[in-house]
A and B are shown apart, each in its own frame.
Chain A
Amino acid sequence: MQPISGEFGAINTLNGLLNQHPISSLHNHGQLPQFDPVDDFLEQMLSSPAVYPCADDHSQQQMEEHSTSVLASKLRQHQINSGAAKALMFQRQLLLSTGLAAGNGAPRSPTLSDHNDGIDGNGFKSIQENDASIKALFNGFTGSLGQISNQSEHFHQPQNFGGAGIATPAAMNEATVSGSSGGGASGQPRQRVRARRGQATDPHSIAERLRRERIAERMKSLQELVPNANKTDKASMLDEIIDYVKFLQLQVKVLSMSRLGGASAVAPLVTDMSSETSKEGTSMSLTEQEVTKLMEEDMGSAMQYLQGKGLCLMPISLATAISTATGNSLKINTNSDAQAPTSPTLSVLTVQSCGNIKGDAIDQG
């Protein structure tokens, strides 16, 4: 277990470097790094003899140190050229190699937990096997990579490269070579294991994912409300929604401008609303009551109300004359002291207790 401390020193320095630079380079560049040179660099990496550990421990130690120095130099070189993907590649390479060298039970959690925020330190504490350590490293890396990819939504590629560092070095050898040929693509037909999102132990990424799903649900429900449901993408859907809300507000404005109805507009619907809410059958009596109320206040409004309903005021004699003559299903409003007879074809509205308005009504009618 002695060679571990030396490597930890190397790891710490490299971690210090990698802490600052990858994320800052992400922010500074803001562009996709070119992934074609990454393939070249991968081949470079693989061609260098010092990366992969052998079974022998002593030579392993030397190889580790050599590999760390090689990686450090290459890291410096490539950080200047490209973005964070290569840096992360280096990081992963380094830690994988050291992980394989150190074997079991290494208390590596403190160093690993402070080099990136996203890595769950707990995952590394109980590492016993080589496979488990490799898997934990992989999870940590994909967690960190996933976090960074959540921050900038372009980094699909690093997760593929995150898959590159998986399993065994031999498989990785083949996988990276085969993946490097298709490096620029979305990475479907590769042999490597892609980042298993369900197994990301990073609480931040899980929360982010949940949040995104929730937002997607709400967007879908919004889409059903808005008439133009093209379902192309989020941005155009958002624009559609904004336009629709603006349009509705404009409609309210326009309708309020043409809202020049007076009592005729308001009164009948008030009674309609009350009749709808309270009872259904006695619409006529309600109209009668409304008309009487309006007549007490203002004759003009009462007349307007009746006009709004399609009703008019006429003397009973005329009403009976019309009813017997035509026999249509007209609604006739009669104004009298006594109840007028209601025929089956005509519905007659009688208003009582309006003694003072008889003359006016007949004059106007």
Chain B
Amino acid sequence: MSSLSQNPKKTLLFSAMKNPNTLKKKLASRFLKAMKKLKYKMSPSPPASIAEKKRRHRAVRAAAYASMASAVGPRRAWSRALLRKMKGRKRARRNPGNMNTRFGLNHLCDIVPGGEAMDSCSLLNETAHYIKCLVAQVQIMREILHSSSSSSTIL
């Protein structure tokens, strides 16, 4: 990669970093839609058995990640990887000889989705954006939880 080809990527990185507000709104709307879909699929009352509860939790978590990935869209490598995982397609592990250039990013590439098929530079990029989206998602889920649990009844 020449330096010239890197500079437009850098500018793209800086411009594509969303404002937290727009990102949050997008994430929230998608997540809530997904939750609604989930609610109608499953039993509305709290499920009795533990297995059902586990399934429900897993479904909620999957909905969280799916909504995160779909809100970001195919712009980011990690969201593409997540969407691929959701659709059940192959992992597309094109490894252009990355193990030589890793310098200790081995654990990071296991955590961030789609981390193996990237070189160190873009891995760090993706990590930054992934962290941002994760933080926003966690905030949204917290707000939902607090608003639903702290509902006061006048009755």
Residues of A within 8 A of B36 (CB): 266-267, 270
Q: Is the CB of A221 within 8 A of B29?
A: no
Stretch of A31-39, A59-67, A120-128, A236-244 lying at the B interface: A236-244
**Could you tell me the distance between the alpha carbons of A73 and B40 in the complex, rounded to whole angstroms?**
85
**Could you tell me the distance between the alpha carbons of A364 and B125 in the complex, rounded to whole angstroms?**
55
Q: Is the CB of B153 within 8 A of A312?
A: yes
Q: Is the CB of B148 within 8 A of A242?
A: no
Partner of B57, one of A256, A261, A301: A256
Stretch of B69-77, B85-93, B104-112 lying at the A interface: B104-112
**Could you tell me the distance between the alpha carbons of A262 and B46 in the complex, rounded to whole angstroms?**
8
Could you tell me the dominant secondary structure of chain B's interface residues? Answer: helix
Given A215-B124, A248-B134, A255-B138; A273-B25 close (CB under 8 Å): yes
**Could you tell me the distance between the alpha carbons of A264 and B6 in the complex, rounded to whole angstroms?**
49
Given A225-B128, A235-B104, A248-B135; A256-B61 close (CB under 8 Å): yes
Residues of A within 8 A of B64 (CB): 252, 255-256
Q: Is the CB of B104 within 8 A of A252?
A: no
Partner of A265, one of B61, B108, B128, B148: B148
Q: Is the CB of A259 within 8 A of B155?
A: no
Stretch of A80-88, A107-115, A303-311 lying at the B interface: A303-311
Partner of B151, one of A246, A257, A308: A308
Q: Is the CB of A211 within 8 A of B134?
A: no
Q: How many chain B residues have a CB neighbour from A under 8 Å?
A: 52
Q: How many chain A residues have a CB neighbour from B under 8 Å?
A: 52
Q: Is the CB of B151 within 8 A of A252?
A: no
B3 at the interface (CB under 8 A from A): yes
Partner of A245, one of B104, B130, B142, B149: B130
Q: Is the CB of B145 within 8 A of A222?
A: no
Within 8 A of B (CB), among A263-281: 263-270, 273, 276-277
Q: Is the CB of A257 within 8 A of B57?
A: yes
Given A245-B111, A245-B112; A255-B145 close (CB under 8 Å): yes
A196 at the interface (CB under 8 A from B): no
Residues of B within 8 A of A264 (CB): 148, 151
**A207 CB to nearest chain B CB (Å):** 8
Q: Is the CB of A265 within 8 A of B141?
A: no
CB closest residue in chain A, given B34: A266
Partner of A252, one of B33, B61, B127: B61
Given A245-B111, A270-B36; A225-B132 close (CB under 8 Å): yes
Q: What are 14 A-to-B residue pairs whose CB atoms are below 8 Å? A: A225-B131, A234-B103, A253-B61, A255-B145, A256-B57, A256-B61, A260-B46, A262-B45, A263-B39, A264-B148, A265-B35, A269-B147, A277-B25, A310-B154
Additional A-B contacts beyond A255-B145, A259-B145, A276-B25 (17; CB < 8 A): A210-B3, A218-B121, A238-B104, A238-B105, A242-B107, A248-B131, A249-B111, A255-B64, A256-B58, A256-B60, A265-B147, A267-B36, A269-B143, A269-B147, A277-B29, A310-B154, A364-B155
